Amino acid sequence: MGKKRIVTKGGEDISKIEEKIITSKTKALTKQLEKGRVYIKVSYNNTIISLTDLNGDIVAWSSAGILGFKGPKKATPFAASKVVEALLEKVKRVGFKTAEVYVKGVGPGRESAIRSLVNQGVEIDLIKDITPVPHNGPRPPKVRRV
């Protein structure tokens, strides 16, 4: 979809309209959030970190691709730590202090993301691995008849 055009009526400034749009997008960040959940999804290709409140509503999120990392550099531990810094910069004014951390996936940025959270001053209550594990695998192929 393209950009929506806003028709201004009678001297209403475009800057005021932009302010309204910006405040409507950041309305979720206006309430105080001292405790929340941090979901870290790490793969061999990217690192995605989401911050939610205790109900599961997403407050902010960030990824290595958004920060400008390209290709295999997105999956590095350095990129994971930078993603955490960018996420906490977004929610700095909310008052975020304690977190439950849920880690999903296998990749080099798992430990680095958690360490970066601690170094940024977030108190961690819980670290849980929610990586899906197959318990029987797919059905084996039928026997080949020649």
What is the overall mean pLDDT for the chain?
86
Of 30, 37, 72, nearest in space to 54 by CA: 37
Model confidence over 96-127: pLDDT tens digits? 999 999 999 998 999 999 999 999 999 999 99
Location of structure tokens 């800057």: 15
Distance (Å, whole) CA 117 – CA 130: 18
Residue 37, beta-bridge partner list: 52, 100
- Residue 88 reports pLDDT greater than 60: yes
Of 52, 40, 47, nearest in space to 96 by CA: 52
Q: Name the residue ranges covered by the structural domains of the chain.
A: 33-129
Model confidence over 30-77: pLDDT tens digits? 678 999 999 999 999 999 999 999 999 999 999 999 999 999 999 999
Residue 60, amino acid:
A
Domain spanning 33-129: CATH 3.30.420.80: yes
Distance (Å, whole) CA 142 – CA 38: 43
